[in-house]
Amino acid sequence: MQADARGFLLLEDGSVFEGRAVSPGSRFGEVVFNTSMTGYQEVLTDPSYRGQIVVMTMPHVGNYGVRQDVAESDRPWVEGFLARQFTRRPSSHGSEGGLIAYLRRHALPALDDVDTRAIVRRVRRRGALRGVIASEPADRDRLAAELAAYPTMAGRALVDEVTSTEERVIEPDGGAARFHLAVYDFGVKSNILRSLARRGARLTVLPARTPAARVRQLGVDGVVLSNGPGDPEPLTGIIEAVAELAASGLPIFGICLGHQLLGLALGGRTFKLKFGHHGGNQPVKDLASGRVGITSQNHGFAVDPDSLPGDCEVSQINLNDGTVEAFSVRGRPIYSAQYHPEAAPGPHDAESLFDRFLDAVRVAAGGEGPGTAVDVP
Amino acid sequence: MSPFLSASDRDILTPESAPVPRRDNIRSILIFGSGPIVIGQACEFDYSGTQACRALRNEGYRVVLVNSNPATIMTDPEVADATYVEPLTPEIAEAIIGQERPDALLPTVGGQTGINLTLALDEAGVLEQWGVELLGAGIEALRRGEDRQLFKEAMEENGLEVPRRGYASGLGEAREIAAGLGYPLIIRPSFTLGGEGGGVVYNREELEERVAVALDASPTRQVLLEQSVLGWKEYELEVMRDRRDNAIVVCSVENFDAMGVHTGDSVTVAPQQTLSDREYQAMRDDAFAVIRRVGVATGGSNIQFAVDPATGRRVVIEMNPRVSRSSALASKATGFPIAKIAALLAVGYTLDEIRNDITGKTYAAFEPSLDYTVVKIPRWAFEKFPDTPPELGTSMKSVGEVMAIGATFREALMKGLASLELDGDVAAREARMADPIKLRQRLAVPNWQRLFALFAALRQGWSVEEVAAASQIDPWFLREIAEIVAVEAEVGCWDLASVPELLLRRARRSGLSVTRLAELLDCPDDQLAAELKRRKIRPVFKRVDTRPVSRP
């Protein structure tokens, strides 16, 4: 075993966790933990993690390697990555390379041989903390001073750092398009696009600052508001565009940050959760059916249910802490999900949300009602 | 239509799983224990049955327990309202039913014995005659879970892949089927404990010999011949389902030993380690499809899969529509009390109505996430059974097991090995494995000393790839063992006064005991212990808490 460089994670409360710097470098971010036991590459490449250092609670990370086609975007966005033990050499028929080589190639600082539970306990107790991950040699005093000046997540508008700069079109998988949807890219995960294209939708993916007029000009059948990083409240301009679209009567589906933006556009407020939900084991209860699904989640902000206008109804809640997971608007084809129906990583329990939305799109376009054939692969 | 019900799930909801009201219309519940401790069915069923009895009593139900084994916790007077220490036969069970007039029977917590007895009572018409309702899983579900032919058909109807197979009730039929499948193939008799009478056969002579034995072992004189998935990776998912059709995976388990070794004789690891998220989630989807199709309305099931390491192709192997040895292990590994929850689900609760005892705030509707690694190692007692061949196959031979929890696989594995309480030390055991031909044999043919042979081979300079090729054990596990061997070798280069602190920490984090380290550093245990204390290298103790630091 080669002697790796040492490194550490320094938190804003002054605590330091020393470990092995398997991928060198130094980066600042908000420290969050993720409880997914699989799917580390999907986590790394999820643009919603912009500005965050992620601690994986699963001890062994990297076991099955990495591969191109499971990436959720074209690069990793996580600022720093920690686990109890990163696997040196993967073992899987599907592996195209090792995780550590991948992290080094992307100059993404990573630390292992740390007591991840101790970090998680601190984050749970204190709430999400700013931190810096660094490899030796490093000047701790200087880093601590810089960390104090690093912005907190509340108030950070990060969408502009991850959105695409140009419109692009994605054709449906096989056959003619049954719907044309506009997808606002606030940091969209590829599997949202794949899930829609697989169901026969032609997608026009739009940069985050696209005005609502452009959507009308495209003549789409519905709008999807994607996931994305940071605080939704400072996203002025975008919130107004969403409000305009919501008023237009077009079917809208907001996912994660998109759900929060819908809440804001309808007149509600959002707030920062203590340490957020990051992982694939979050139980969500559907209030109408009484059923519970296990969902994939990654968010640090939530919609305040009391702030929503009278025609909005909370339809799903998180079973652990009661936070809003979905709301609907009376008489309007507006759907939201705080969690990730596209999973990747995580359970597929909520995948049918895409079918439900496309049913609504079909109805709004003058087609037949729900229950008509949707090819679910 | 619920957003949490996919289109494919809707089609497979069986009438058995239709919602029923909360069970205030039943007052007394009959439970069967699993009888005598035998290989394949031991105290884990006492653990599960006791949990179930207590949970139901706690809910105000009158619990009537029948178990022929008085040396169990469940037969303690305070566990059930009425306890019968009587043989677990249909005749006696019928007499007890006649006397106690239970409203319902929970057949899924007494192991295979409980299920077999329930099926026998149903066939004899006893359940119908006395109006005893089955809780958890109905007769059809029990049959589909236990009868391999029915199970296979149900899986195929649902588009789930199973190994190709054929059913024989005589030698001639067996020969025909074998000709179609090719060798090696697996023989499995129906309705037996711990796979008794089963095995792997490599040629026609072995086939004829084993089929005769298997037919005798099966109460229905039927035997299954199955395409070999020997060498494939083996997984188990512990699944729970409630009356609203909510389903969760409590725990995933990966077998260290490849297919071909009975799970009870395999070293197993939780959570699973070598499947990608895509592979794991697809397996989870399949597991839910299996429990729904088999029709276990409420409760837990253990569902086994094999995965071809070369391609990732996945087949369903079997399911136990009841609590099992694995669910007892999964309960302890995750802090999720499967048998207790299964009992509560059976009387009408849903997962989101049952509090998580550990957090006190959250509910049983969630999936435990582990920030640690669990390793189970079987314990054999071949010295007590000198006539039993030491090779391991599809019939279980272990008499017990150790479960170890560590931050990493290495740590858990080494803790487990230290807990086996084997006579003589590991080094001496390995030293006897110097002969390369015998060593290869020990790696290739599963046997109770194979774990030590893996260490021996790696110590003797075999590469991980060579050991993997010989043993068909996933290289991921072997590399971790190779790291333990490497750390040991490195520590052996130093003495106590000079050994670097980081190396000592690494060695402890790789699971090396103080005794083993002292041996490598050639110093007395207490000296090393004092040195570790001086350098502030201390063991830490953490809690199994169902999700990493679980308080919301």
Per-residue pLDDT of chain A (377 residues; tens, 9 = 90+): 455 799 999 999 999 999 999 999 999 999 999 999 999 999 999 999 999 999 999 999 999 999 999 999 999 999 999 999 999 999 999 999 999 999 999 999 999 999 999 999 999 999 989 999 999 999 999 999 999 999 999 999 999 999 999 999 999 998 899 999 999 999 999 999 999 999 999 999 999 999 999 999 999 999 999 999 999 999 999 999 999 999 999 999 999 999 999 999 999 999 999 999 999 999 999 999 999 999 999 999 999 999 999 999 999 999 999 999 999 999 999 999 999 999 999 999 999 999 999 999 999 988 755 444 443 33
Q: 3-class SS at B196?
A: coil
Whether residue B192 has pLDDT greater than 90: no
* Same-domain status, A34 and A144: yes
Q: Which residues of A touch B273 (CB under 8 A)?
A: 60, 63
Domain boundary pick from A125, A149, A173: A149
* Same-domain status, A76 and A111: yes
Residue A242 lies in a domain: yes
* Same-domain status, A109 and A180: no
Q: Which of B288, B305, B303, B285 is nearest to B242 (CA)?
A: B288
CB atoms within 10 A of CB B217: 21
- Note which residues in 231-270 of chain B have CB less than 8 A from chain A: 244-246, 248, 252
Q: State the fold for domain B28-143.
A: Rossmann fold (3.40.50)
- Note which residues in 288-317 of chain A have CB less than 8 A from chain B: 288-294, 316
Whether residue B16 has pLDDT greater than 50: no
- Same fold for the pair B28-143 and B164-227: no
pLDDT at res. B11: 39
How far away is chain A from the Cα of B493, in angstroms, using its nearest Cα?
14
Sheet containing strand A270-286, strands side by side: A292-303, A270-286, A312-318, A324-329
* Same-domain status, A215 and A360: yes
* Same-domain status, A55 and A167: no
Q: Do A279 and B408 touch (CB under 8 A)?
A: no
| CATH number of the structural domain spanning residue A134 | 3.50.30.20
Tokens of B9: 């799930």
* Same-domain status, A352 and A237: yes
Please name every residue paired with A223 in a beta bridge, in sequence order, or none if there are none: A182, A252
Q: Looking at residues B415-433, what average pLDDT do you find? A: 82
How many distinct structural domains can be found in chain A? 2
Architecture category of domain B422-550 in CATH: Orthogonal Bundle (1.10)
DSSP string, B5-65: S-HHHHHT--GGGS----S-S--EEEEE---S-BTTB-THHHHHHHHHHHHHHHTT-EEEE
pLDDT at res. B67: 95
Q: Looking at residues B274-280, what average pLDDT do you find? A: 98
Q: Which residues of B touch A278 (CB under 8 A)?
A: none
Domain boundary pick from A149, A172, A207: A149
Domain span holding position A102 = 6-149
Domain boundary pick from A126, A149, A172: A149
Q: Do A320 and B552 touch (CB under 8 A)?
A: yes
* Same-domain status, A138 and A202: no
pLDDT at res. B12: 37
* Same-domain status, A247 and A331: yes
**Domain extents for chain B?**
28-143, 164-227, 230-379, 422-550
Q: Does domain B230-379 match CATH 3.30.470.20?
A: yes
Residue A63 lies in a domain: yes
Q: Which residue has the tokens 């998680």?
A: A120
Whether residue B161 has pLDDT greater than 50: yes
How far away is chain A from the Cα of B43, in angstroms, using its nearest Cα?
30
Please name every residue paired with A310 in a beta bridge, in sequence order, or none if there are none: none
* Same-domain status, A205 and A129: no
Give per-residue pLDDT as tens, B296-309: 999 999 999 999 99
Task: List the single residue in A38, A42, A291 with the smallest CB-CB distance to B244.
Answer: A291
* Same-domain status, A131 and A208: no
Give per-residue pLDDT as tens, B476-498: 999 999 999 999 999 999 999 99
Name the CATH superfamily for B164-227.
ATP-grasp fold, A domain (3.30.1490.20)
* Same-domain status, A107 and A200: no
| CATH number of the structural domain spanning residue A313 | 3.40.50.880
Task: List the single residue in B284, B370, B479 with the smallest CB-CB distance to A89.
Answer: B479
Residue A370 lies in a domain: no
How far away is chain A from the Cα of B506, in angstroms, using its nearest Cα?
9
Q: Which residues of A touch B372 (CB under 8 A)?
A: 59
pLDDT at res. B13: 38
Is the sign of the CA dihedral B516, B518, B519, B521 positive or negative? positive
- Note which residues in 31-60 of chain A have CB less than 8 A from chain B: 33, 35-39, 42, 57-60
Tokens of A296: 């994939």
Residue A198 lies in a domain: yes
Give per-residue pLDDT as tens, B219-236: 888 888 988 898 999 999
* Same-domain status, A199 and A332: yes
